[in-house]
Structure 1
């Protein structure tokens, strides 16, 4: 897809699964989203719009003041480690999980294709290795720092909540609806979506057997001791 813009793209970072955002009021059911003004962009905002919310485009520097003044009712940022720095729990106490609209945020580095092809092979290998290393390091960083930050936020008054089942189900259904709409209207999306969807389904079947089965059991046992 990037080649049409004369670009070579590399994944060079990832923050892992994100949180669902900070809310001034509790989300009790799907009706709680009606008219809710939330700082969120991209596809997540498009899905929320289908659920009755009103997406708002606000720069990170204005999130705190917008919540404090009531200009917006909710905002998503990243996760505990980054959210703690903004002090959002002081102006929107309800901290929701999971971040269904951004299960993983990949950061990418785009390189001019002509410049890339002019590099010697060893330079290319070094660059690709650095990108891969940064991806692994950033994931490890967030996995290591988020737990402590979450504990601090809760100790400081944040009220940890999970989105109600009807919200999660509606968000999933509207997401699938949106994928279809984008696939029908966008040629680039239509090229990517079928293979992406197939891969997602194949991975889900494996994760149910292995990763999720082990994680769910282990977390259940650990929860009994805490």
Structure 2
């Protein structure tokens, strides 16, 4: 008799516990709307953001229910920042130099002309104070940012005429965002800011004369080889372009420590994954562009690169002079370039040059 009472009470307790647990679990569940600056299923940048969204939901075992919207599906690509800062969405997946009009200190967290390569950027963010500075500028706008990808070194761009001297850049209408666009303005070009989905049509129509995008893999899928004849290298404007997951800070602050760690882990995974995937595919698609589509590669000569370098120095100083925060960010970035860059002079750069000369790659 006592046993039956005990079992009945235990069963009632289990039911009661389940009834109490259900609302608790519902309360723990968080919605996360991610808006992106890239089109859906676009190889590399687009698919990376989609993969990150899936990974966050997977790692949190559904406690964070993620909805991902590509550019134009919820808001326009360049409206992503305001959508998140306002709290209408919880996160954007994009490149922070798009927000340099709000504060130029955002730009170094994507790329600086003549700046850091992917591995150097990663070193700065993790060990050179970069993440703390991203947190500092983000706090002023209600944003918590975490690196979640990198395109590596980008190509110099697609041009409808040869660039043999700095004079050839004057009056050129070129799609190029960020501080790279400021450099092009310094050398006499007219920079235009366009989201990726609008580049092809503008280049074909003649609304722009040239464009940069990313590299062979991504450029192939935009079919830029149909719209311009010459493909220039190396890009000076984005030597290691970092992608960020920028989250509404109030939403981030309301997460448990565990879920914060899991989102951070998902971003770290994707940061490495996107860089590796892009680097691997760029070689494959460069060969396709040359061998199957007859794309003509051109190298920027020393005169053109010197003009880029002089203009980049001016742009970096102007960015630094904007405010105390901009100065703090740029100084930290330049310290990383000097220190990690000095090591690069004796490591990756000379090794790759000698290896490729020996193997005739």
Question: Which residue of the partner structure matches residue 196 of structure 1?
Answer: 333
**Paired position in structure 2 for 1:44:** 180
Query: 2-side partners of 1:86 and 1:66: how far apart?
Result: 12
User: Following TM superposition, by how much is the alpha carbon of 1:30 offset from its aligned partner in structure 2, in angstroms?
Assistant: 1.1
1:154-186 CA distance string (max 9 Å, x none): 121110111111111111121111111121123
Q: Spell out the pairing of 1:1-226 with structure 2 (5 A cutoff).
A: 1-155=137-291, 156-223=293-360
Give TM-score scaled by structure 2 length. Answer: 0.60
CA contact (8 A) 1:39 1:76 kept: yes
Task: Please list the CA deviations of residues 188-217 of structure 1 after superposition, one character each: whole Å capped at 9, or x if unmatched.
Answer: 311211121111101111011122121111
Q: Which moved more, 1:22-31 or 1:211-220?
A: 211-220
Kindly state the Cα deviation for residue 137 of structure 1 after the two structures are TM-superposed.
0.5
Tell me how far apart the structure 2 counterparts of residues 188 and 62 of structure 1 sit (CA, whole Å): 33
Distance in 1 (CA, whole Å) between partners of 2:276 and 2:260 is 25
Could you say if the C-alpha distance between residues 132 and 151 of structure 1 is closer, same or farther in structure 2, counting changes exceeding 3 Å? same
d(CA) in 1 for partners of 2:174, 2:254: 45
Deviation sequence 1:47-99 (CA, Å, 0-9, x none): 10100111123343332232223222111111111111121112211001111
Q: Rg: which structure is higher? A: 2
Q: Return the alpha-carbon distance in structure 2 between the equivalents of residues 58 and 117 of structure 1.
A: 33
Write the deviation string for residues 6-57 of structure 1: whole angstroms up to 9, x where unpaired: 3221001111111111001111111111111111122111110100111123
Paired residues of 2:166 and 2:303 also in contact (CA < 8 A): yes
Indicate if the aligned counterparts of 2:164 and 2:304 stay in contact, CA closer than 8 A: no
Question: 5+ unaligned residues in a row in structure 1: which ranges?
Answer: none
> How far, CA to CA, are the matches of 2:215 and 2:351 in structure 1?
24
Q: TM-score, normalised by structure 1?
A: 0.93
Count of residues paired in the alignment: 224
Which range moved further: 194-203 or 177-186?
177-186
After superposition, the CA RMSD in angstroms is 1.5
1:24·1:67 contact (CA, 8 Å) conserved in 2?
A: no
Secondary structure in 2 aligned to 1:62? helix
Q: Which range moves more in the overlay, 131-140 or 85-94? A: 85-94
1:131-168 alpha-carbon deviations (Å, 9 max, x no partner): 00000000110011111111111121110111111111
